[in-house]
Amino acid sequence: MSKNQDVIDLFNGAVMPTYSPAIAIMNGKGVTVTDVDGRKYYDFTSGIGIHTCGYGNPAIVKAIQDQAAVITHTSNLFVNVPETALAKKLVAMSELGGKVFFANSGAEANEAAIKLARKYGSASGRYEIVTFRNGFHGRTLATVAATGQAWCQEGYDPLPVGFAYADYNDLESVKAAITDKTVAIMLEAVQGEGGVTPATQEFMEGVRAICDEKDLLMIVDEVQTGMGRTGTMFAWQGYGVKPDMFTLAKALAGGLPMGALVGNAKVADVFTASSHASTFGGNPVAARAALAVIEFTEKNNLPKRAEEMGELLMNALQAKVDEYDKLLEVRGKGLMVGLVVDGDPKVLVDALRDMGLLALTAGGNVVRFLPPLILKESDLEDAIEMISDALENVYGTAE
Ligand SMILES: *Cc1c(COP(=O)(O)O)cnc(C)c1O
């Protein structure tokens, strides 16, 4: 018996079965994790897009340790110094000239964006938000309703109303979804869970133009794309299209739970005293970790590394697509990469894990790679070797 199996059995006996973990991870270092049996893996999931700066990053560890010894929580009845510094930094980085609201997760940051949009529209009787099929915005009732995918809505009726779904990368479909009740359009710059589909340049610009024309708020969900993953600090910067609001979470605080809603001047003061809140929002330990993440990301120019390594990974995968009939397409942006397969992607994800490489599925037929952005070329070469071996095991030797 493996220790992995023992721990998984304990887990399954005590934790509600919303997940089905295949291994139990003991620790992480850089771009690798080690399971309870002592087996080491390249982690091309980054804990689902979290560890952009690598596991056990000394600067992040130190920030967390230092702040934990100073104070771990103040409540928002008092000014919290690290939160204030982080807000100032996010506002400066975004160049949107606005303000920040802090939450504890991606869903909560999006929930805040949805509430803010409704408050903004309430004077004119507008509340509807256009979201996208194959999008993903979280698991609270409102964010599930915002998520245009049946699999995560099933069994949860009645869902909050006020969402209309349009087709991604299809401006005509967006126009058709807009009514006189519409107040906002909410989208990912690269759809992550839905299948690693980047927005086209034309689409991002078109959404911005529609929002300008109809006084709608453009909300970009950067929970997965943010903090350098797609080649710019925030993915919308890569398009040169400024949203009215965007949300961050996954990679923001280097492994600690934190979400943020960043808005421009137009929305900066829509929330008023007591109109929205979060007890833990802006937690000082998470805020110090986030400041360390940002400093490390900027100092090491991780967005540029994401772009360069992403190109190498996508080229290597494209070569495999050319070899194997069962591989259909490579798509993505930076180190957010999807390999579209003909069939169930889980088969390949399992084979990759057997080889020592952790990857994710997305959108029903996509193997998704979200490696730490500190990835070195030698790590990538090892990983590509593992991908070659896994493909051979699953699909046989290519012609
Ligand atoms: C993961 C994700 C969320 C949800 O974040 P949680 O922290 O799990 O609530 C929302 N939007 C996008 C784009 C995501 O990838």
Domains of the chain, by residue range, sit at: 59-299
For residue 385, the CA-to-ligand 1 centroid distance in Å is 31
User: Which of 45, 224, 234, 256 most suits a substitution to test ligand 1, by most atoms within 8 Å of the C-beta?
Assistant: 224
CA of 187 to the centre of ligand 1 (A): 12
> pLDDT tens digits, residue range 187-233?
999 999 999 999 999 999 999 999 999 999 999 999 999 999 999 99
In 253-344, which ranges are continuous DSSP H helix?
284-299, 302-323
Measure the CA–CA gap between 359 and 349, rounded to whole angstroms: 6
Sign of CA dihedral 199, 146, 192, 92: positive
Percent of the chain past pLDDT 90, that is, above it, reads 98
CA–CA separation, 357 vs 362, rounded Å? 16
Q: Where are the alpha helices (DSSP H) in the chain?
A: 3-14, 46-49, 58-70, 81-94, 106-122, 141-146, 171-177, 201-214, 235-239, 284-299, 302-323, 345-355, 377-395
Q: Establish whether residue 105 lines the binding site of ligand 1, counting it when its CB lies within 6 angstroms of any ligand atom.
A: yes
Establish whether residue 244 lines the binding site of ligand 1, counting it when its CB lies within 6 angstroms of any ligand atom: no
Ligand 1 lined by 249 (C-beta under 6 Å): yes
Q: Is the CB of 136 under 6 A from ligand 1?
A: yes
pLDDT in tens, 15-34: 999 999 999 999 999 999 99
> Judging by beta carbons within 10 Å of its beta carbon (0-12, 13-18, 19+), is residue 389 exposed, middle or buried?
middle
Mean pLDDT of the 98-115 span: 98
Q: Please list the residues that pair with 221 across neighbouring strands.
A: 188, 247
Q: What is the pLDDT of residue 397?
A: 78
Beta carbons of 119 and 268 less than 8 angstroms apart: no
Largest CA distance in the chain: 66
* 44 carries an active-site annotation: no
Active-site residue, 250 included:
yes
**What spacing in Å lies between the alpha carbon of 223 and ligand 1's midpoint?**
5
Model pLDDT for residues 316-343, shown as the tens digit of each residue: 999 999 999 999 999 999 999 999 999 9
Classify burial at 370, counting beta carbons within 10 Å of its beta carbon; exposed 0-12, middle 13-18, buried 19 or more: buried
Ligand 1 midpoint to CA 12 (Å): 24
Which helix H or strand E contains 185, and what residues bound it? strand 182-188
| β pairing state of 190-191 and 163-166 | unpaired
CB of 107 shorter than 6 A to ligand 1: yes
pLDDT bucket at 242, cuts 50 / 70 / 90: very high
* Phi, psi (degrees; rounded to nearest 5) at 191: -65, 120
Region 59-299: CATH code: 3.40.640.10
Q: Are 111 and 167 in contact (CB under 8 A)?
A: no
Cβ neighbours, 10 Å, residue 322? 9
Average pLDDT, the chain: 97
